[in-house]
Structure 1
Amino acid sequence: MKKFRQQIKRWITQNMELPADVMMDLPRITMIGQIHIYIENHRGLLQFSDTELRLLLKQGQLLIKGEQFVLRTMLPEEILLEGKIAQVLYLDEPGK
């Protein structure tokens, strides 16, 4: 049943030209060079240090690595991170 719902959402998104991030509950990530990253539609902050940020997503996690990280904005579903960004990685949920 879960796969059927995903297929319906994907079909609606493609055929009705609706934004995929809204219909499929995907994160929207906007980067400005290596110094800013703005993430919308996440499920929560899991870890933060001056070299690493880890966010929970609907499917897995988002890991950002770099240096001199500072959280400029933190709202329930939005984060603005500033610093020198070296890597942005998607991590699959264990067991899937």
Structure 2
Amino acid sequence: MTTITGYKFANLSSEEVEAMFEIKLQETRVYREAKEEGRQEALEKGREQAKLELIPRFLDYGISIEEVAQLLDLTIEQVEKIRLVTEQESLTSTL
């Protein structure tokens, strides 16, 4: 609805559109659902980023690649890829 009203009434502010239809755009179901979906996506991205940051730490503690994959619910290939990238970054930073 926000997109439609924004397109159809591009010359009006959101406050003017809200007054015209006697609604708050933030209170519409579509707005709430989109906002919640955005929160869920951000939360999931944060979780994935945390997993990726934990891989080198776990490996530094001597945990095997297989165990790291199992602990973080990743594939062995994903863990190996991050291990290789981390090694490359540490080699580049020491040069």
Q: Compute the TM-score of the two structures, normalised by the length of structure 1.
A: 0.23
Scaled by the length of structure 2, what TM-score is found?
Answer: 0.23
Larger helix percent: 2
- Kindly name which structure, 1 or 2, has the bigger radius of gyration based on alpha carbons: 2
Flag the structure with higher strand content: 1
Greater relative CO (CA pairs within 8 A, separation 6+): 1
